[in-house]
Amino acid sequence: MSPPRALVLAGFGINCQEETAAAWNMAGAQARVVHMNDLLQGHVSLRDFQVFTLPGGFSFGDDLGSGKVLANKFRFQRMPSGGTLESELRFHVERGGYVLGICNGFQALVKMGLLPGLEPGGQQATLTHNLSGRFEDRWVHCKVDPATHSPFLRGLDMLHLPVRHAEGRLLLRDESTRRAVLEQHLCCMEYCDAGGVSTRTYPANPNGSQLNCAALCDPSGRILGMMPHPEAFLSLYNHPDWPSLKRANPHISQDGQGLVIFRNLVANLEGSTRRPPRSSQH
Active site (catalytic) residues? 103, 229, 231
Cα angle vertex 229, ends 245, 274, to 5°? 70
Cα 251 vs. chain centroid, distance in angstroms?
29
Cα 194 vs. chain centroid, distance in angstroms?
22
Residue among 170, 141, 167, 134 at smallest CA distance from 239: 141
Cα separations in angstroms, 249 against 161, 244, 279: 19, 9, 12
* Farthest CA pair distance, the chain: 58
What distance in Å separates the CA atoms of residue 169 and residue 131, rounded to the nearest whole number? 7
